[in-house]
A and B are shown apart, each in its own frame.
Chain A
Amino acid sequence: MDAAGVDRACINCIFFGDHRICNDRVARFVSEYPDRFIGAAFVTPHYPEEAIQELERAFDVLQMKFLKLYAPYFYLPIDDPAYMPIFEWANDRGVVIMSHCSFDLEGGDTLTAPWRFDDLAERFSNIQWVLAHSGFSPAGEVRAIQVARAHPNIFLETATSRDAHGTIEHLVEGVGEDRVLYGSDMPIFDARQQVGRIVTSQISEEAKRKILGLNAIKLLGLET
Chain B
Amino acid sequence: MGQVDLNFKPTVPVFDANVALGRRNDKRVRVDTVGGTLEAMDQAGIDRALVYSHHAFLWDAQDGNELLADMIQGERRLVPQYVCNPGFEDLRHFARQVAKEGVRSLRVSPIFHQYPFENWMLKQWLDWMTSEDLPVWIPVSYEAKGQKINMDPAPIHNTIKEHPRLKVVLSDVDYQNANWTLQLLRSLPNVHIDISKCIGIDGIVKLINGIGEERIIFGSRFPASPMAPQLYHLYRCGLSDTSLRSICSGNLDRILRRR
Contact = CB atoms under 8 A, between A and B. Distances in A.
Interface stretch (A3-11, A59-67, A71-79, A126-134): A3-11
Interface stretch (B61-69, B94-102, B210-218, B225-233): B225-233
A192 B237 contact: yes
B16 to A, nearest CB: 12
Interface of B: 1-8, 27, 29-31, 40, 43-44, 143, 145-147, 174-175, 197, 199-204, 222-233, 236-238
Q: Looking at chain A, what size class is its interface with the partner chain?
A: 35 or more
Given A165-B223, A212-B1, A188 B229 contact: no
A31 interface: no
A191 B202 CA distance: 9
11 contacts: A5-B2, A165-B226, A166-B31, A188-B175, A193-B232, A196-B228, A196-B230, A199-B8, A200-B226, A200-B229, A209-B1
A188 B200 contact: yes
Contacts of B197: 161
Contacts of B231: 196, 200
Interface stretch (A19-27, A99-107, A172-180): A99-107
B127 to A, nearest CB: 36
Nearest to B26: A105
A190 B222 contact: no
Contacts of B29: 164-165
B42 to A, nearest CB: 11
Contacts of B200: 188-190
Listed residue (A7, A165, A186, A208) with the most chain B CB atoms within 10 angstroms of its CB? A165
Contacts of B201: 186-191
Nearest to A187: B201
B228 A200 contact: yes
A107 B148 CA distance: 10
Nearest to A202: B43
9 cross-chain pairs, A with B, having the tightest CB-CB distances, nearest first: A196-B232, A200-B228, A196-B229, A5-B2, A105-B146, A106-B146, A193-B233, A104-B146, A5-B3
